Amino acid sequence: MAGDKGLVCVTGGTGYIASWLIMKLLQNGYHVRATVRPGTAYKKDISYLTNLPGAAEKLHIVDADLNRPESFQAAISGCSGVFHVAHPMDLTGVEPAEVVIKRAVEGTVGILKACLNTKTVKRVVLTSSTATVLSNSQDQHVTDESTWSDVDFFKGSSYIVSKTKTERAALEFAEKHGLDLVTLIPSLVLGPFLCPNLPSSVEMGLAMILRKEEMYKCLMNSSLVHIDDVVSAHIFLFEHPNAEGRYICSSNEITMHRMSEFLAAKYPEFQIPTADILDKVEGHKASGASSKKLLDSGFRFKYGLDEMFDGAIQCCKEKGFL
């Protein structure tokens, strides 16, 4: 295990990306304060965090709630860096969109205020999503960090709108107040997972294997990235002295039909939907996402489609989802 690199905070610690990030930070010699929603540590088994190598000495669980941004002050106080991963999710559409968006934006801005107040935070890395760089133009085949999703065009998705408005608000706040903020924009994250629940991105990535037909439309043109590459990119950008602005993090592009062929050949034990079934699927054909800026900074991806799907499927089998 690496030497002591100081104290950092990870918000939304029980999530898919956050839990992997905590594991990698501990491996890299950091002390970590991980925030969880109040009561989580008592109501749920979070041993997948507390049993991580080095956790007994270097991981501290702290209650905090995006509905009360001031509750993050204790977790952030004294930290040299903050990885803001937490984001309200309402994939079922139960909550009104404006409620989800308001909580995401105000919670994030409140956390950034807490970072300013501590006087010790040197950099914040915000986890965004390629949902913020979707193009509604048929002429734009590849999107980059200059692209922003049109929230009016995608107003039917509270996730796209909340992610886009949150990242914009964070960057505007950081620029106004001189806060060192970097945003990481991962595509669909796939691979093994530590948390006991099935991460929504893994469920979407394995939609053809899990027979989640309602999700096929999200796979029209898929940009994918391995979970280990995503968390490594977080740490890379935190440590890179010249990192600034937005960074897309996506290693593989694959169409829905090509994914079907890939899965059918690699995993014959599953019933993968055929081309005639997929031809009936209607959805937004998203443009590809370019990671050129991240690669030009010196970062390198380590994993491909084989590792993404092998890891995700193995975890699903172990945890009873397959």
Q: Kindly list the structural domains of the chain, giving each domain's residue range(s) and its CATH number in brackets, ordered by start.
A: 7-190+225-251+289-303 (3.40.50.720)
Residue 288 has pLDDT above 80, yes or no: no
**pLDDT-derived band at 164, boundaries 50, 70, 90:** very high
pLDDT reported for residue 1: 46
Count helices and strands (H / E) in the chain: 14, 12
Higher pLDDT, 86 or 246: 246
Question: At residue 137, does pLDDT exceed 90?
Answer: no
Residue 42 has a pLDDT of 58
- At 15-63, the pLDDT tens digits run 999 999 999 999 999 999 999 988 776 567 899 999 999 999 999 999 9
Q: Is the pLDDT of residue 2 over 80?
A: no
| pLDDT value of position 43 | 62
Q: Please, which residues have CB within 8 angstroms of residue 193's CB and are 6 or more apart in sequence?
A: 16, 19, 20, 199, 202, 227, 312, 315
Where is average pLDDT lowest: 3-7, 22-26, 41-45, 84-88? 41-45
The CA R_g of the chain, rounded to the nearest whole Å, is: 19
State the DSSP string of 273-315. PPHHHHTT-----PPEE--HHHHHTT------HHHHHHHHHHH
Output the six-digit token pair for 47: 């041993």
Give the pLDDT score at 96. 76
Q: Among candidates 164, 65, 171, which has minimal Cα distance to 109?
A: 171
